[in-house]
Amino acid sequence: MPRYIIEREFPGAGKLGAAELQAIAQKSRDVLDNMGPSIQWQESYITDDKIYCVYMAQDEAALRSHGELGGFPVDRVAQVRAVIDPTTAEPH
């Protein structure tokens, strides 16, 4: 399945407490459970006013459906084309 990055505008996200983040995560998991294995949440990064989520999904439509069902904003979706890290610089 392709990997995607979702950018969510979420003013004040960086000030959310542990209980609020837990509630958001639980809502996301509940929606995912109902959607089945065609979409998987890997992790999310919380910044001051945005949340960046990493998902595996068959297509962008599944991601947008998840956002709609969960009440989560989906402002931008980008498919990951490659992943690099410091080891990428090493000669083969």
pLDDT digits (tens, 9 = 90+) for 24-81: 999 999 999 999 999 999 999 999 999 999 999 999 999 999 999 999 999 999 999 9
Q: 3-89: which CATH topology?
A: Alpha-Beta Plaits (3.30.70)
Cα 72 to Cα 82: distance, rounded to the nearest angstrom: 26
Phi, psi of 2 (to 5 degrees): -65, 150
- For the beta carbon of residue 4, count every other beta carbon within 10 angstroms: 20
3-state class (DSSP) for residue 39: strand
**Domain limits, the chain:** 3-89
User: What is the structure's pLDDT at 58?
Assistant: 95
pTM for this prediction: 0.91
Band (pLDDT 50/70/90 cuts) for residue 92 is confident
